[in-house]
Amino acid sequence: MLLKLNQISKSYFSGKIPKGRVILDQLDLEVNSGERIAIVGPSGSGKTTLLNLIGTLDRPDSGEMVFENQKLSGFTDQQLAQFRNEKIGFVFQLHHLLPQLTLFENILLPTLTDKKLQGKETIEHAQKLINRMGLAEVAHQKPSELSGGECQRTAVARALINRPGLILADEPTGALDQKSSGILADLLVELNKEEGVTLIVVTHSMDLAKKMERIYRIENGKLKESSELRVAGFES
């Protein structure tokens, strides 16, 4: 088991609702290594919150998260940062590439946290990822000079540079056209199959979701596996 979420709860507090708005309510999830999982649900249902909790960008109010048999709740911020850097790769709806860096430099960005990661091997790995993503010709250009699809593929490459065990993708195709979405979705599946990297995708896209092995729907703060969706598709 790669990841286990046990009775995870998260609420957001604001002045208008003193008790807070419950987003995740005693949610459970188990993910095995190499799995492809899609999480779907309406806007505001807590998909991104769940993803941020898994990615340790946020902490749950209660419950326990175990990653590779390690309880994450005891981690300090520094340990969590290192954990994220080594174990997790993020892909967002907006690519969030730094506009001043070339694609190549953007891909290398996560390696700056540790000098040990800045060796020749990393450069070669980055080069491989670039080739793999079909970005070889544009690798030394800046994001502003590229298409959305190319930028998003760069973001995927950046997520993979430190060889994480888990890729968390939040609406990775949300800002792309159909063709680019398809290419990216296929790329993610291929990476899962070939590299064995575990994939958790939050999406509204039926096409992307259908390419995952399991689809979970998030409703009232809880996850519900839905086989119907795989067959009938769904609407956001």
Partner 1 sequence: MPLYKLILKSVWYYRKLNLTIVLGIALSTAILVGALIIGDSVKYSLQQITVQRLGNTSQVITAGERLFRQQLATELAEKTGTETAALLRANGFGVINGGELRVNQLAVWGVDATMGNFTNYPESFQLQNNEVAINENLASLSGLKAGDEFLLRVDKLNTFPANTPFVSEQESTISFRVTVARILKPDELGNFNLRNIQSAPRNVFVNLKWLNEQMGLQQKANVLLVADGVSDADLIENLQKCWTLDDVNLEVRENQALNYTELISDRVFVEPVVEEFCTKNIPGSQAVFSYFINEFILNGRQTPYSFVSSDPKLSGNEMTVSKWLADDINVKANDTIQLSYFEVGPLRKLVLKDTTFVVNAVYALTGEKADQNLMPVIPGLSDAGNCRDWKTGVPVDLKKIRPQDEAYWKQHKGTPKAFVSLETAQKLWGNRFGQSTAIRIDGLKKVEFENELLAGLRPSQLGFEVKNAKSDGLSAASNGTDFGGLFIGLSFFVLFAAVLLAFLLFKLYLGFRRTEIGTLTALGFSFRTVRKIFVSEASVFVFAGIVLGIPLSIFYNQLILKAINSIWVDIVRTSIVNISIRPESIITGCLTIAVLSIGVIYWILSRFLKNEVIVLQRKATSGKAKSGRLTLWIGLGLLVVSIVVLLMSGFRSGEINPEMFFISGFGLLPALILLFSYLLRKIAGYESSSAFSMRSLLLKRLSGERKRTVMIVSFLSVGVFMVVSTGLNRKDLTSHAELPSSGTGGYDYLVETTMPVLFDVNSKQGRDELNLPEDAQVVQFQSQPGDDASCLNLNRISRPRIIACNPAAFDARSAFTFVTKTDDLDAGHPWLSLNKTLAGGVIPAFADQTVIQWGLIKNIGDTLIYKTEDGHDLKLKLIGGLANSVFQGNVIIADNHFIQAFPSVSGSNVFLIDTANSTLVAEDLQNGMRNYGPEIGKTTDRLLNFYTIENTYLNIFLMLGALGLLIGTLGLGILIFRITFEQIPEYALLLSLGFRKSVIFRMVMNEKVFLMTVSVFIGLIPAVLSALPSLISSLYSNLWIWLPAISVLVIVSGALFSFVAIRMAFKQNLVQALRND
From 96, 163, 193, 224, residue interacting with partner 1 (rule: CB under 8 A)? 96
Q: How many CB atoms lie within 10 A of CB 226?
A: 18
| Of 199, 165, 30, nearest in space to 85 by CA | 165
Size of the site for partner 1 (CB under 8 A): 45
For the segment 9-28, give every residue that binds partner 1 (CB under 8 A).
Answer: none
148 binds partner 1 (CB under 8 A): no
Name the CA dihedral angle for 94, 95, 96, 101, rounded to a multiple of 10 degrees.
-150
Amino acid at 43: S
Stretch that binds partner 1, among 2-10, 22-30, 108-116, 128-136 (CB under 8 A): 108-116
Q: Which of 39, 129, 146, 201 binds partner 1 (CB under 8 A)?
A: 146
Beta bridge partners of 223: 218
109 interacts with partner 1 by CB under 8 A: yes
CB 108 within 8 A of CB 122: yes
Contacts of 26 (CB under 8 A, 6+ apart): 7, 8, 9, 63, 221, 222
Interface with partner 1 (CB under 8 A): 43, 48, 52, 55, 57-58, 77-78, 81-86, 88, 90, 92-94, 96, 98-102, 104-105, 108-113, 118, 120, 123, 140-141, 145-146, 158, 162, 170-171, 174
